[in-house]
A and B are shown apart, each in its own frame.
Chain A
Amino acid sequence: MTATLVFAYCLVAIGVAALVAIVRMEKGPTMLDRVVALDVVTAAVLGAVALISARSGRTDLVPVLVVLAIVGFVGSVTIARFAAVEAPEEARILTKEELAEVLAREHALSDEDAPVHDPDADDGPDGPDGQDRPDADDDEAEARSLDARLDGDAQEGGR
């Protein structure tokens, strides 16, 4: 009877812990807070499996513990790696003007790359160079101004 009560307390504590961690995962302002909460949920699941195994004497659940330990690690590392490349303007939904600016910047970058992939671009010594140079300079200046404007917007949004 006492053992049943003790295991019931343990299961309830672990279940409440997992629920509380899931609340943090839902609230978490950033992706990394959710990863931290996911680690806690993984630890709670490990503890729950250990409790069930200890109560029922099922030793076939022990390999599940090994697999859970490895899988939890892989998931959090992958998400942390993904969050490392998260730009500030990707953390929220863009407005129409911002989306247009981002698309224009991508267009400028692809224009900049185009002569590299064209083998017929510089067949003459003076003709193509005289035509291509100003375009590339324009694109670079445009991309730089877009960068500055996007940074300014991100800072204003953060405050």
Chain B
Amino acid sequence: MSLTDIADIAGMVLLVLGSTLTLVAAIAVLRFQDLLSRMHAATKPQVLGLTLMMAGLALSVRNPVVVWTLVLVVAFQLITAPISAHMVGRAGYRTGKVNSEALVVDELTQDLEASENLSDEEVERRIAVLDRDLARSDGARPDDGRPHDGRHDATGPGGL
């Protein structure tokens, strides 16, 4: 049994594992009840399943150019999958599709409730404190910190 035979068999095993994981994850996406549960299931073929299949393809083809292109594919997927998952989760939360009572840890709801209990004066005071800290940290250019807020710029130490 030569080295290429071993690579072929290992590649086939990885392809089988990746496609089986994709099938299991798709069934989970169909059967789970919650948006967040479905997102949890959907990340498996996106990252682990794709990595397995790309490794299997690389072991089957054994061409350096192809192998590095497949590394690029996996890198792209590792970068972009969290972005889309973040956007979907954020949109789901903002449009009220996340059941907060079903979550074990829900820090966003706690933070939002805490911020709603603050009065307007307290919010203004905290913004002023942040502005002062910002102006102190880079005193040379205090205007760059809050370009959209003319009032705070005018009262800042370097604003006039």
Judged by a CB distance under 8 angstroms, whether B49 is at the interface is yes
Interface residue count for B (Cβ, 8 Å)?
51
Q: Give every chain A residue within 8 A of B15 (Cβ-Cβ).
A: 6-7, 10, 50-51, 54
The digit string for A64-96, where 1 denotes a CB below 8 A from any CB of B, is 011001101100110011011010100000000
Judged by a CB distance under 8 angstroms, whether B127 is at the interface is no
Docked-complex contact A80 and B91, CB < 8 angstroms:
yes
Of chain A, the residue at the smallest CB distance from B59 is A54
A92 CB, min distance to chain B CBs, angstroms: 14
With a 10 A CB-CB cut-off, give which of B29, B77, B81 has the most chain A CB atoms: B29
User: Given A10-B15, A21-B29, A30-B97, does the pair A47, B88 have CB atoms closer than 8 Å?
Assistant: no
Of chain B, the residue at the smallest CB distance from A20 is B26
B67 CB, min distance to chain A CBs, angstroms: 10
B131 CB, min distance to chain A CBs, angstroms: 29
Partner of B70, one of A51, A57, A62: A62
Docked-complex contact A46 and B90, CB < 8 angstroms:
no
Docked-complex contact A51 and B12, CB < 8 angstroms:
no
Docked-complex contact A66 and B76, CB < 8 angstroms:
yes
Q: Give every chain A residue within 8 A of B20 (Cβ-Cβ).
A: 13
Judged by a CB distance under 8 angstroms, whether A23 is at the interface is yes
Which stretch from B50-58, B100-108, B110-118, B141-149 is at the chain A interface?
B50-58
Interface residue count for A (Cβ, 8 Å)?
50
Q: Give every chain A residue within 8 A of B61 (Cβ-Cβ).
A: 53-54, 57, 59
Q: Give every chain B residue within 8 A of A81 (Cβ-Cβ).
A: 87, 91
User: Given A18-B26, A43-B22, A54-B11, does the pair A66, B73 have CB atoms closer than 8 Å?
Assistant: yes
Judged by a CB distance under 8 angstroms, whether B10 is at the interface is no
Judged by a CB distance under 8 angstroms, whether B135 is at the interface is no
Judged by a CB distance under 8 angstroms, whether B119 is at the interface is no
Docked-complex contact A40 and B45, CB < 8 angstroms:
yes
Residues of A in contact with B (beta carbons under 8 Å apart):
3, 6-7, 9-11, 13-14, 16-18, 20-21, 23-24, 27, 30, 32-33, 35-37, 39-40, 43-44, 46-47, 50-51, 53-54, 57, 59, 62-63, 65-66, 69-70, 72-73, 76-77, 80-81, 83-84, 86, 88
Residues of B in contact with A (beta carbons under 8 Å apart):
8, 11-12, 15-16, 18-20, 22-23, 25-27, 29-30, 35, 38-39, 42, 45-46, 49-50, 53-54, 56-57, 60-61, 63, 65-66, 69-70, 72-73, 76-77, 80-81, 83-84, 87-88, 90-92, 94-97
A-B contact list, 19 entries, CB within 8 Å: A9-B19, A10-B18, A13-B19, A21-B29, A24-B30, A27-B30, A35-B88, A39-B84, A40-B25, A43-B22, A43-B49, A47-B49, A50-B15, A62-B70, A72-B80, A73-B76, A73-B80, A77-B87, A84-B90
- The 3 residue pairs across chains A and B that have the minimum distance between CB atoms: A73-B80, A17-B26, A80-B87
